[in-house]
Amino acid sequence: MTSPHNIPPTMMVIEITTAGGPDVLQPAVRPVPEMAPGEVLIQVAAAGVNRPDILQRQGAYPPPPGASDIPGLEVAGTVVAVSDDVSGVGGITVGDQVMALVTGGGYAQYCTAPAVQCLPVPNGLSMVQGAAIPETFFTVWNNVFDRSALQPGESLLVHGGSSGIGTTAIQLANSLGSRVFVTAGSDEKCRACEELGAERAINYRDEDFVAIIKDITGGGVNVILDMVGGDYVARNIKALAPDGRLCNIAFLQGSKVTINLMSMMLKRLTLTGSTLRAMPVPYKAAIAENLRTKVWPLIERGDVMPVVHATYPLEQAAQAHHLMESSAHIGKIILTV
């Protein structure tokens, strides 16, 4: 292990004391985690709050085997130690400011991460902005561009356009030459999405996205990124163009649905989806490399920026979860350490 830093034996973390509401999140003291081979130790400056954290807190999304039970899937901070076998991997050395995608452990003062899942904080961005990037950017790149193969000139519909995932997908797809449409739950959120680059934001509370999409596009969109599920699945199939791709990354309204798959066959549709957390490290490393080469230049030019709605001190994680569950936010919620 390489580290000139004075690393304390213990740290403050946020524990899930039992499955339940936001108030089950409580500060606690734990040993600083030990690095496994291939990992670095990060002194956390900021950590992102994400929907999977909510599900884990409720007892509906346990961490994968071997992962920390501390919530938190993304961090930004300073590398304070590196395993001997990863010295120099990705150019990472002690003292570097990085952001990282992790399988857990982010709500803490220190967090380990595979070196290949760390990326440098882009020039000009703060640690808070850096912590708003990994989970959403890895997810959007993997599902929209890798799995669904969105191409320049094609069209994308994003449900939940004002979420962290949504604000990321709007900017990336728009910057890479695609038309972007979204749904959101208020006029304010719709305006925010259009300011970020959405061609048309549809207020799902009083507008029919299927009818509007078909009217605007003349037949449907090429790719839909959906985290709603439920009755949206059948409606998504109607809103897709021939050879369209539907990608689900969550099912907030339920994953058990009844649909007529004849349209899938007649329109040659692809239905896909994924969860990133349990994927192997080499898979995530490949996504990281794509982000480094294809997306980091967009961020450093200012074409794409993480949208941060609010920050809370780490010990106020419960308040951050209350805000996320209210769906009143536009963009990301970040914990500062």
List per-residue pLDDT tens for the chain, 337 residues long. Answer: 656 668 999 999 999 999 999 999 999 999 999 999 999 999 999 999 999 999 999 999 999 999 999 999 999 999 999 998 875 555 789 999 999 999 999 999 999 999 999 999 998 999 999 999 999 999 999 999 999 999 999 999 999 999 999 999 999 999 999 999 999 999 999 999 999 999 999 999 999 999 999 999 999 999 999 999 999 999 999 999 999 999 999 999 999 999 999 999 999 999 999 999 989 999 999 999 999 999 999 999 999 999 999 999 999 999 999 999 999 999 999 999 9
- Residue 85's pLDDT is 81
For the beta carbon of residue 326, count every other beta carbon within 10 angstroms: 8
Rounded CA-CA distance 306/335 in Å is 15
Rounded CA-CA distance 320/324 in Å is 6
Whether residue 319 contacts residue 151, with contact meaning beta carbons closer than 8 Å, is answered with no
Rounded CA-CA distance 106/33 in Å is 11
3-class secondary-structure state, position 254 = coil
Residue 252: both structure tokens together: 């907030």
Rounded CA-CA distance 239/228 in Å is 15
Rounded CA-CA distance 206/196 in Å is 22
- Residue 74's pLDDT is 98
Residue 123: both structure tokens together: 């020039």
Question: Could you tell me the sign of the dihedral formed by the alpha carbons of 175, 170, 132, 226, in that order?
Answer: negative
- Residue 86's pLDDT is 76
Rounded CA-CA distance 222/204 in Å is 20
- Residue 3's pLDDT is 61
Report pTM: 0.95
- Residue 90's pLDDT is 59
Place of tokens 């507008």: 207
Rounded CA-CA distance 34/39 in Å is 9
Closest CA to 41 of 50, 87, 19, 62: 87
| Residue 147 one-letter amino acid | R
Domains and their CATH numbers in the chain: 10-133+278-336 (3.90.180.10), 137-273 (3.40.50.720)
